[in-house]
Amino acid sequence: MTPSLEYTPELAKEMTPLYERLQAVIPSVEWPFHAPLIHAINVLKRERGAVILAHNYQTPEIFHGVADITGDSLKLAREAQNADADVIVQCGVHFMAETSKLLNPDKTILLPDARAGCSLAASVTGEDVRMLRQAYPGVPVVTYVNTSAEVKAESDICCTSSNVLAVVESLNAPRVLCIPDEYLARNVARQTDVEVIAWKGRCEVHERFSAQDLRTYRESDPGIAIIAHPECPPDVIHEADFSGSTSGMAKWIDAHRPGRVIMVTECSMSDNLAVEYPQVEFVRPCNLCPHMKRITLRNILDSLIEMREEIKIPADIAARARKPIERMLRLNS
């Protein structure tokens, strides 16, 4: 049964402290729609014994309003492994929910919109990996977590943007395949003596940033800080003061407290940090991930009411796909 979603004076009062935190990033006209949903989700998740994991690219009303745990892909994978709950609602994209399922085969993993995909995950299939292994016999396959379980099942080890260098070097091999993100592979290749063979996948959000745009910002404000995600093209990374995973970028902001900063990544990340660092001015060359944005308060509530969309992975694929993730998690523990 759908709970009441009326914005009553009592609810408005109860939710005022949260809105005071979020008012810089959520317009007041939107709050009466968000507040009842946030309240209803928080009540229902307790009733269901559910925990909500949210990626750093989720919108502020999700990230600050209903998430129990937030972070980058690596942190969410670790937290999924440790989650003390029967139900995990994954506020992120499909491969993240699959990773949670692989690490928690006996738990119920819900993705509020099963269509939340990823251009990187869509760029490579299990058959492609088998073909690569034939073309490069004996060369280990490092697979970005932004892939399907079917692709992970064909891989030696997974990586995320925060541990890719450590993973590549852990293999003690003269060359490795690093798939499917071409730019992540080229960016890590510049930091290691290992020969890194790339695939042609791209993140549709990060490939759109241009080095020329960043130079233009820098010319108009030489003191501005620029931090970029390693899914960006190498010439964009070259213009940045720092490059790291989404959590790496958040840590950089915390350590450096710049006056003005450009976050060269998905838009909501700046909104979420702006709530925590009101003294930092975030310049937002805004690119939205359409897949991350499929997750809304409304479909999170529906997912808890109807217990859907439940992630299921065929047992034979799951057994093989779990190994490269666990190998990665062991490496970093």
**Footprint of ligand SF4 on this chain (CB under 6 A)?**
93, 118-120, 146, 203-205, 231, 266, 289, 291-292
Residue 72 binding partner per list ligand 13P, ligand SF4, none, with a CB distance cut-off of 5 to 8 Å that depends on partner kind: ligand 13P
- Residue 262 forms beta bridges with which residues? 226, 283
Query: Looking at 59, 143, 245, 272, which residue binds ligand 13P (CB under 6 A)?
Result: 245
**What backbone torsions phi and psi does residue 59 show, to the nearest 5 degrees?**
-65, 155
Q: Is the Cβ of residue 244 or residue 258 nearer to ligand SF4 in the bound state?
A: 244
Query: Looking at 59, 123, 143, 160, which residue binds ligand 13P (CB under 6 A)?
Result: 160
**Cα–Cα distance measured from residue 310 to residue 131, given in angstroms and rounded to the nearest whole number:** 31
Residue 53 binding partner per list ligand 13P, ligand SF4, none, with a CB distance cut-off of 5 to 8 Å that depends on partner kind: none
Structure token digits, residue 329: 């998690």
Residue 240 binding partner per list ligand SF4, ligand 13P, none, with a CB distance cut-off of 5 to 8 Å that depends on partner kind: none
Amino acid code (one letter) for 103: L
Q: Would you count residue 170 as binding ligand 13P (CB under 6 A)?
A: no
**Cα–Cα distance measured from residue 265 to residue 292, given in angstroms and rounded to the nearest whole number:** 13
Q: Would you count residue 163 as binding ligand 13P (CB under 6 A)?
A: no
Structure token digits, residue 313: 């992975």
Query: Looking at 119, 187, 246, 270, which residue binds ligand 13P (CB under 6 A)?
Result: 246
Query: Looking at 72, 79, 113, 156, which residue binds ligand 13P (CB under 6 A)?
Result: 72
Shortest Cβ distance from residue 75 to ligand 13P (Å)? 8
Residues 117-146: x where in contact with ligand 13P by CB under 6 A, - otherwise, as a string: -----------------------------x
Residue 160 binding partner per list ligand 13P, ligand SF4, none, with a CB distance cut-off of 5 to 8 Å that depends on partner kind: ligand 13P
Shortest Cβ distance from residue 24 to ligand SF4 (Å)? 23
Q: Would you count residue 73 as binding ligand 13P (CB under 6 A)?
A: yes
First to last CA, the chain: 42
Residue 291 binding partner per list ligand SF4, ligand 13P, none, with a CB distance cut-off of 5 to 8 Å that depends on partner kind: ligand SF4
Preceding omega of 112 cis (within 30 degrees of 0):
no
Residue 245 binding partner per list ligand SF4, ligand 13P, none, with a CB distance cut-off of 5 to 8 Å that depends on partner kind: ligand 13P
Residue 204 binding partner per list ligand SF4, ligand 13P, none, with a CB distance cut-off of 5 to 8 Å that depends on partner kind: ligand SF4
3-state helix, strand, coil split of the chain in percent (to 5) is 50, 15, 35
Q: Alpha helices of the chain — where are they, by DSSP H?
A: 9-22, 31-48, 60-63, 73-82, 94-103, 126-135, 149-152, 164-170, 182-189, 211-220, 234-239, 246-256, 267-276, 297-306, 315-332
Residue 246 binding partner per list ligand SF4, ligand 13P, none, with a CB distance cut-off of 5 to 8 Å that depends on partner kind: ligand 13P
User: What 3-state class would DSSP assign to 227?
Assistant: strand
Shortest Cβ distance from residue 292 to ligand 13P (Å)? 7
Q: Would you count residue 150 as binding ligand 13P (CB under 6 A)?
A: no
Give the Cβ contact number of residue 263 at 10 Å.
26
- Binding span for ligand 13P by CB under 6 A among 67-75, 107-115, 130-138, 312-320: 67-75
> Taking a C-beta distance cutoff of 8 angstroms, is the pair 287, 208 a contact?
yes
Give the Cβ contact number of residue 206 at 10 Å.
24
Shortest Cβ distance from residue 313 to ligand SF4 (Å)? 19
Q: Is the Cβ of residue 31 or residue 63 nearer to ligand 13P in the bound state?
A: 63
> Taking a C-beta distance cutoff of 8 angstroms, is the pair 27, 35 a contact?
no
**Cα–Cα distance measured from residue 7 to residue 263, given in angstroms and rounded to the nearest whole number:** 34
Residue found under tokens 């523990």: 333
Interface residues with ligand 13P (CB under 6 A) are 56, 72-74, 146, 160-161, 203, 231, 245-246
